[in-house]
């Protein structure tokens, strides 16, 4: 049973460019959340997708957008990259109806903005 | 808003020492509490959880008890191993909320 997978593993971009990160949820999961983990910090919630809709959003600008596909996989898009967007981007999957909000995390995509 | 505060690292201990990593939280509701671990080069893994007051979560020799009166969820292990070296995150999720709120993490180094 494959866990949460993310691609690419690493990415280097320059300021002003756009980037797309991809995530496939754990088998049986239909909900995908994205988090940003800056160096030396804890992950911060960006947004969550369920049934191809953004269900909740954290305190991130509109430059951060996402999409969920019918097979539950998801993309995170970041436009007009800033140096401060350099971070590890984590995808997590879950399913609704759990008694607590357990989310399963992927290994992350390391984004470096130069 | 909701938040998690955990002790700053790095924490350096010798093998077989006793470990405590302090964690306190602020929440408007009645959250579930978690400890996640991040080994070098790997993603976050759920280490243990507790969903109501006085619950004790445990896994791999680690324990944490949900203390509502002190809003705390301290992580403990009686005898640490070199393989426990990692970054540990205390986290919470409020009922009906989709997001998990993490502390800043505590880096643990265990010396042989």
For residues A108 and A8, is the Cβ–Cβ distance under 8 A? no
- Read off the pLDDT band of A101 (50, 70, 90): confident
Does position B50 have pLDDT exceeding 70, yes or no?
yes
Cβ distance A107 to B91 less than 8 Å, yes or no, reads: no
Confidence of residue A41 (pLDDT cuts 50, 70, 90): very high
Q: Tell me the chain B residues in contact with residue A44 when contact means C-beta distances shorter than 8 Å.
A: 102
Contacts of B101 in chain A (CB under 8 A): 45
Q: Does B4 touch chain A (CB under 8 A)?
A: yes
Q: Which of A29-38, A82-91, A96-105, B83-92 has the lowest mean pLDDT?
A: A96-105
Tell me, what's the pLDDT at B25?
97
Q: Residues 57..96 of A with a Cβ closer than 8 Å to B: which?
A: 58, 90, 92
The confidence score (pLDDT) of residue A98 equals 67
Instruction: Give per-residue pLDDT as tens, B60-82.
Output: 999 999 999 999 999 999 999 99
**Which of B11, B27, B3 is closest to B88 using CA atoms?**
B11
Q: How far is A81 from chain B (nearest CA, A)?
A: 24
A31: confidence class by pLDDT, cuts 50, 70, 90: very high
Residue B10 pLDDT greater than 90, yes or no: yes
What is the rounded average pLDDT for all residues in chain B?
Answer: 94
Mutation for B interface: A5, A42, A51, most B CBs within 10 A:
A42
Q: What is the mean pLDDT of residues A26-33?
A: 92
- Find out whether A88 and A37 touch, Cβ atoms under 8 Å: yes
Q: In this predicted structure, what is the pLDDT of residue A1?
A: 64
> Is A103 in CB contact (< 8 Å) with chain B?
yes
Per-residue confidence (pLDDT) for residue B73, from 0 to 100: 98
pLDDT of residue A99: 64
Q: CA B23, B28, B33, B34 torsion: positive or negative? A: negative
pLDDT at B26 over 80: yes
For residues B80-86, give the mean pLDDT: 96
Tell me whether residues A40 and B42 touch, CB distance under 8 A.
Answer: no
Q: What is the pLDDT of residue A17?
A: 98
* Alpha carbons within 13 A on the beta-carbon side of A63: 14
């Amino acid at each position: 049973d494959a866990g949460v997978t993310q691609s690419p593993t690493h990415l280097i971009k320059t300021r002003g460019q756009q980037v797309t990160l991809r995530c496939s949820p754990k088998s049986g999961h239909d909900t995908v959340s994205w988090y940003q983990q800056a160096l030396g910090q804890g992950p911060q919630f960006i947004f969550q997708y369920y049934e191809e809709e953004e269900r909740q959003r954290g305190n991130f600008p509109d430059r951060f957008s996402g999409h969920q596909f019918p097979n539950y996989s998801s993309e995170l898009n970041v436009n007009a990259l800033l140096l401060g967007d350099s971070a590890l981007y984590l995808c997590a999957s879950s399913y609704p109806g759990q008694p607590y909000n357990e989310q399963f995390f992927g290994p992350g995509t390391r984004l470096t903005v130069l | 808003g909701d938040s998690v505060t955990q002790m700053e690292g790095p924490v350096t201990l010798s093998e077989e020492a006793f470990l405590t990593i302090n964690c306190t939280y602020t929440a408007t509701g009645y959250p579930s509490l978690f400890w996640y671990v991040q080994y070098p080069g790997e993603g976050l893994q759920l280490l243990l959880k507790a969903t109501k007051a006085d619950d004790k979560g445990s896994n791999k020799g680690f324990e944490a008890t949900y203390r509502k009166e002190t809003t705390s969820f301290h992580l403990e292990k009686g005898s640490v191993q070199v393989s426990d070296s990692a970054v540990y995150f205390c986290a919470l999720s409020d009922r009906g909320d989709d997001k998990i709120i993490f502390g800043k993490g505590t880096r643990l180094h265990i010396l042989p």
